[in-house]
Structure 1
Amino acid sequence: MTTVDSAPTALRPHAEEDFAEELRALAAADDRPRPPRWRMSPWAVSRYLLGGTLPDGTVISPKYVGPRRVVEVAVSTLATDRALLLLGVPGTAKTWVSEHLAAAVSGDSTLLVQGTAGTAEEAVRYGWNYARLLTSGPSREALVPSPVMRAMSEGVIARVEELTRMPADVQDALITILSEKTLPVPELGQEVQAVRGFNLVATANDRDRGVNELSSALRRRFNTVVLPLPASAEAEVEIVARRVEQLGRSLDLPPLPDGVAEIRRVVTVFRELREGATEDGRTKLKSPSGTLSTAELISVVTGGLALSAHFGDGVLRADDVAAGVVGAVVRDPAADAVVWREYLETVVREREGWKDFYRACREAAA
């Protein structure tokens, strides 16, 4: 007979749960001024994202590897009355940064609106419990607050993911909220006023320009911070290794250090194809149609780690990552396959110490 664990472990804990000890240590050591309803000062929020060591020896792991000023501008924006828009190509950690900002500032990253083509205005404003509505008419008891309305009432951070994927009329529901800091409820002749501490973090990616582009009126309500791609191969290796290690722990996969060399090769492939040139700049390359983002890199390496754990010897090798690399590069079977073959034969084949990677990728693409 199978028994069900009464307290299962979450596959992907929220940031405030996964990094609870770090947040507690930072809050305890933080003696700087805090904006209304913030769990810690802007300095401590920045330290939480960028990492460091506290005076008591507590190590704060970096959540974002990139320019310090980007994080400082993002955090300081949330301490003002302007909303924050994190902009960048897919895979630049916009969602990750958004979640950790909300966790550090408010202790709750779950007040989230996920933007899609089908997102309704109720997801931003409010909806109704139709059973109560039909029984007793419009009332506060029948009203179902959106995550944004809850954040306004509680004075905390709300998050909107993929803002430009939402229909334009749904986006514009944010204008009054962000400019007047109120949310009218005309059915009740009332309004919800934002409590001090409320703010909003939205994300959008550069590749979505033209899907549902932001109106100039809405864009003016945001301070836009662009998250760049990792500046160097070593920075990208560090990001991938750290994130895969975190994912691996939650999936009971083997430790990552044995696979760092393989991660470096995959990072090299992604960066060269993304930038259209080899690392030494001597060979120009065609770029595939996909973004080859850091997020895709993490997915490829995590998949390879699972392969090595369950069907190999637990050490990440070329055979484990080859299929993932080919799948990430060849999105368009016609055009991308040509780009990949050319790269494989002219660059990978001739590169010293890459014979195993060349062979594995040839087999994966066959």
Structure 2
Amino acid sequence: MTEVLRQHAEQLYAEELAELARRDERPRPPNWKLSPWAVVTYLLGGRLDNGFEISPKYIGERRLMEIAVATLATDRALLLYGVPGTAKSWVSEHLAAAIAGDSTLLIQGTAGTSEEAMRYGWNYARLLAEGPSPAALVESPLMRGMREGRLVRLEELTRVPADVQDTLITVLSEKTLPVPELNIEVQAAKGFNLIATANNRDKGVNELSSALKRRFNTVVLPLPDSLESEVEIVQQRVASLTRTLELPAEPPALEQIRRVVTVFRELRSGATADGKTRLKSPTGTLSTAEAISVVGHGLALSAHFGDGSLTAADLAAGLLGAVIKDPVQDKVVWQEYLETVVKERDGWNDVYRACREIS
């Protein structure tokens, strides 16, 4: 059997989840696999009493994860909000894996998401042959989650049309999903809740109604607050990516990761790290997720077309592609940064030459 490219969180971290469950003696909400304390430990990592190491899945403020987990133990849904690339989807997947043991009840929000995808649909062959019946009903992930008492994930909520968004109001307030065609309703079992994600770049696309906002507790996931925190995140995720893709490359030197993160943070903030030089910011978000992609791309280049050791030349193409989204405006921003900052920075001559060459 061919191995899958990406395992679900509950599969990839099955050993950690099982060990936490064995050692977890704290109270658990109905139908939860772990206690809230154990869920936060799974997310942030730590050492158990028996010496077993739990790897961190989220590097950031503990209180944010405590608020998110506590929300899911109440009757309010959770909305993870922030700029693109701040690990909203990553956190929602791991929350579902730790709490319900299943992260696969997922609805992907798009401009084309229909009410049927949110509530339920029909097997039209059976519907025409037999008429409306439970056998002809096609359950959505939301309906399954309600029936089985599990967490449901809804990605990019603000991309969903407003009239479809509002189908959630009854579900979140009454904890019931009517099926008028069959004159029945599905009532949510204990353990059911919803984790939605949204990013601020989509603000105003399909703004949530005030009625729907009241059904959510919003937790804003910020960008990493320090260079070292962001470097640690990139290093950890790149190591995992390298193992998954089986790249025959050496682990990237910390200095190379720090360079990429420094470029991203300076252009994102509009100033150099020392605050002495003001910079123009590009149109893209330059998120931590994009920094991970740049380093991962560089590792693939070094593994297959170099000596396996990540160099500035391997990073240059990825940096250029991440920064220049608008070929006119962003190119000016990048050239100015290259000439005024990178060129003058001690120890960055190889970065400057590689970027100039590929530009």
1:48 aligns with 2:62: no
Shift of 1:214: 0.5
1:176 aligns with 2:170: yes
- The aligned counterpart of 1:195 is 189
Cα separation, 2, equivalents of 1:138 and 1:258: 59
- The aligned counterpart of 2:245 is 251
Counterpart selection for 2:30 from 15, 31, 36:
36
Aligned ranges 1:138-149 → 2 under 5 Å: 138-149=132-143
Cα separation, 1, equivalents of 2:333 and 2:62: 36
- The aligned counterpart of 1:264 is 258
- The aligned counterpart of 2:122 is 128
- The aligned counterpart of 1:4 is none
Listed as ranges, the gaps of 5+ residues in structure 1 are 1-6
Cα separation, 2, equivalents of 1:28 and 1:84: 27
1:69 aligns with 2:49: no
Cα separation, 2, equivalents of 1:200 and 1:277: 39
Cα separation, 2, equivalents of 1:73 and 1:258: 35
Cα separation, 1, equivalents of 2:358 and 2:9: 36
What value does the CA root-mean-square deviation take over the aligned residues? 0.8
Aligned partner of residue 135 in structure 2, secondary structure: coil
Normalising by structure 2, we get a TM-score of 0.99
Cα separation, 1, equivalents of 2:310 and 2:83: 28
- The aligned counterpart of 1:336 is 330
Identity of aligned residues (%): 72
- The aligned counterpart of 1:25 is 19
Shift of 1:254: 4.0
Aligned partner of residue 358 in structure 2, secondary structure: helix
- 1:110-152 per-residue CA deviation (whole Å, 9 max, x = no partner) reads 0000000111111110000111101101011000000000000
Shift of 1:259: 2.6
Normalising by structure 1, we get a TM-score of 0.97
User: Does the 8 A contact of 1:245 with 1:255 survive in 2?
Assistant: no
Q: Which moved more, 1:259-268 or 1:174-183?
A: 259-268
Shift of 1:258: 3.7
Counterpart selection for 1:320 from 296, 314, 317:
314
Shift of 1:8: 1.2
Cα separation, 2, equivalents of 1:333 and 1:158: 39
Q: How many residues align?
A: 359
Aligned partner of residue 282 in structure 1, secondary structure: coil
- 1:66-124 per-residue CA deviation (whole Å, 9 max, x = no partner) reads 00000000000000000000000000000000000000000000000000011111111
Shift of 1:363: 1.2
Aligned partner of residue 178 in structure 2, secondary structure: strand
Q: Which amino acid aligns with 1:163?
A: L
Aligned partner of residue 300 in structure 2, secondary structure: helix
- 1:8-55 per-residue CA deviation (whole Å, 9 max, x = no partner) reads 111010000000000000000000000000001000000000000111
- The aligned counterpart of 2:278 is 284
